Amino acid sequence: MDEIRILSPGGSLGYGVNAESLERAMAMGIDVIGADSGSTDMGPWYLGAGRPYHSRATMKRDIRLLLRAGREHRIPVLIGTGGGAGANVHVEWARTIIEEIAREDGLRFKLAVIRSEQGKEYLLERLNAGKVEPMPGVPPLAPEHIEACERIVAQMGMEPFIRALDEGADVVLAGRACDSAIFAAYAVRAGCDPGLALHMGKILECGAMSAVPPTGRDCLVAVIKDESFEVLAPNPAREVTPFSAAAHMVYEVEHPFLQGEPTGLLDFSKVIFEPTGRGSTRIRGTLFHEHSPTLRFEGAERVGFRSFVLGGIRDPFLIQKIDEYTEGCTEQTMDIAGRDTGATITWILYGRDGVMGDMEPERDGPVHELGVLAEVLAQSQDVAHDVAALLEARMIGFPYSGAKTRTAHVAFPFSPLVNDTGPVYRFSVLHVAELRDPADLVSLFPIEYRTVAA
Amino acid sequence: MNERAELIDLVQFLFSKNAGPYLITFDAIFGDDASYERVRDSGVLTKERIAGLFRIPVERVLSLYEYPAGRVIKFTIIRDISSGDFGDRSVFGSQLWAPLIHLEIPPAA
């Protein structure tokens, strides 16, 4: 088997690809470009609301860099988790950007669009069959959560990418995808060991996070051949050491050496990291314990609508009485709004325990200024807004004990004082389902091909 | 190595990050073997100690691992509110590692 060179432009497409590193990498000879473009990291709102995560202008810049490089060198470009969350609306968003670039730049290529949004029936049937397990820390799934989800996606593995490459796609735009699959698919199709290739994908998925100095905003290259792969940073300001590569493998995961993939469990416990002496690291020894195919499903359920009021407190007498004040404001507001509104008010007090909440060990330390974020959740935006407006009126004048001010208790930075942020979502579905049929690894992800031309 | 030290004196990186929407994982990454082994062998980081530092029930400390190949000690806690849900304070699970800074590490044996 010939060696295969795979390029990752960074941790997430749309954050701003380092064009100079990309050019350096392309000059080394690259066989395939993979790019991760989404995650669940930024929370459930993007999946629930059907909105893209990244800036459109930056996404267009980044995709343009990749498409030009790919077309110039006649190599495939694979993009996973298009639009940030990978539902149909996100994939469409990314597709229009790709087609716009093709028109503007006079590019011509075969585009494969792989969808990952799922109907509810499949997951419901798997749940009823007892074939659904929660991810660690996630509550068990009930049918009503599936029903309540705004959108559900399944996270595809390598198989749909391989199918698209089989069909001659030059550019693959996929919905929700395993990061590792984006980078492993081309190599596995060429005959590489799946475990080794998926491990390589795990290293590549965050770009130069595996290098020193680490950053997700720079390129990384892997060269895979036979029993091992080499990881290198095209940017001469970085190198990949055995420790930097190994340390990255624990990043954003619960287990340091066991990680689930759709068709098996990656096991890094016997992996060997060797320095090459030229600023890169060679990796071998990955184990892959195959199991019957599974897919991870992700679904966002709307829990209500939010409005908030933001202010600052510098009055030392109010800071002393802050609990009396927040409780009093909440109570008066709910007395007037009526408990039957179903609204919930929460307070975040920056400067005291705003970041850590109940986990804060230094909650009782000295404070000279507090940032106050009062949030209201209700079942409609109108109700949330009304309750937040009432709350703001209490915040400005609540007569806490020992007050030296008659009113004007809070410094509000904004007019409008009440800000409506729209729906709030929860990842109610974050569960792994055993598949009915191994063929579902492909069939749940319909692929559409089109020739894109100027 | 014979003097008392705080965890912050021995690590190269120390941070918290989400591991999916329901977990927050804490990584202490060491720049040299001696520091890694000193903290590991001290036995200071236990699930019980972590629960105490973060004022959470020990059941919420899901796991604690050592990973010599990366000179990493990591532990993971279960969130009380999942990422981005109403009441969440840190979507990325960021900025929650401060209670570890002054953790006292005894001299190496």
Tens digit of each residue's pLDDT (9 = 90 or more) over A295-319: 999 999 999 999 999 999 999 999 9
For residue B27, which residues of chain A lie inside 8 Å, CB to CB? 247, 250-251
Cβ-based interface (< 8 Å): residues of B facing A:
13, 17-23, 25, 27, 29, 53-56, 62-63, 65, 67, 69-72, 74, 76, 78-80, 82-92, 95-96, 98-99
- A256 touching chain B per CB within 8 A: yes
C-alpha–C-alpha distance, residues A173 and A158, integer Å: 13
Reference A446, options A117, A186, A155, A50; nearest CA is A117
Q: Which residues contact A233 (CB under 8 A, 6 or more apart)?
A: A21, A208, A211, A218, A219, A220, A221, A239, A240, A279, A280
Backbone angles phi, psi at A302, to 5 degrees: -75, 130
Report how many Cβ contacts below 8 Å link chain A to chain B: 139
Report whether pLDDT(A331) > 70: yes
**Chain A nearest C-alpha distance from B31 (Å):** 9
Residue A42 exposed, middle or buried by CB count within 10 Å (0-12, 13-18, 19+): buried
For residue A306, which residues of chain B lie inside 8 Å, CB to CB? 86
**Chain A nearest C-alpha distance from B4 (Å):** 22
**Which residue from B minimizes the CA distance to A274?**
B69
Reference A32, options A256, A221, A216; nearest CA is A221
Mean pLDDT of all residues in chain A? 96
How large is the ipTM?
0.94
Cα A89 to Cα A128, A297, B61, distances in angstroms: 29, 17, 37
| pLDDT mean over A69-86 | 97
Give Cα B74 distance to the centre of its chain: 5
Read off the pLDDT band of B1 (50, 70, 90).
low
Of residues A247 and A320, more confidently modeled: A320
Residue range A195-215, pLDDT digits in tens: 999 999 999 999 999 999 999
DSSP tag of A411 = B
C-alpha–C-alpha distance, residues A45 and B88, integer Å: 13
- A212 touching chain B per CB within 8 A: no
For residue B89, which residues of chain A lie inside 8 Å, CB to CB? 348, 354-357
Are A398 and A332 in contact, with CB atoms under 8 Å apart? yes
Are A285 and A365 in contact, with CB atoms under 8 Å apart? no
Report whether pLDDT(A69) > 70: yes
Whether the bond between A139 and the residue before it is cis, its omega within 30 degrees of 0, is no
- SS3 at position A148: helix
For residue B63, which residues of chain A lie inside 8 Å, CB to CB? 254-255
C-alpha–C-alpha distance, residues A203 and A187, integer Å: 14
For residue B71, which residues of chain A lie inside 8 Å, CB to CB? 243, 246-247
Task: Among B56, B82, B87, select the one facing A427 at the smallest CB separation.
Answer: B82
Mutation pick from B13, B30, B89 vs chain A, by most beta carbons of A within 10 Å, is B89
Asked if B65's CB is within 8 angstroms of A255's CB, the reply is yes
Read off the pLDDT band of B2 (50, 70, 90).
low
For residue A354, which residues of chain B lie inside 8 Å, CB to CB? 89
Asked if A40's CB is within 8 angstroms of B20's CB, the reply is yes
| pLDDT mean over B51-70 | 96
| pLDDT mean over A181-192 | 98
Instruction: Output the pTM of the full model.
Output: 0.96
For residue A430, which residues of chain B lie inside 8 Å, CB to CB? 20-22
pLDDT at A107: 97
Asked if A137's CB is within 8 angstroms of B79's CB, the reply is yes
The two tokens of residue A74 are 């006649």
Q: What is the DSSP string of A234-259?
A: SSTT-B--HHHHHHHTTTT-S-SSEE
Query: Looking at chain A, how many residues does it have?
Result: 454
Read off the pLDDT band of B109 (50, 70, 90).
confident
For residue A348, which residues of chain B lie inside 8 Å, CB to CB? 89
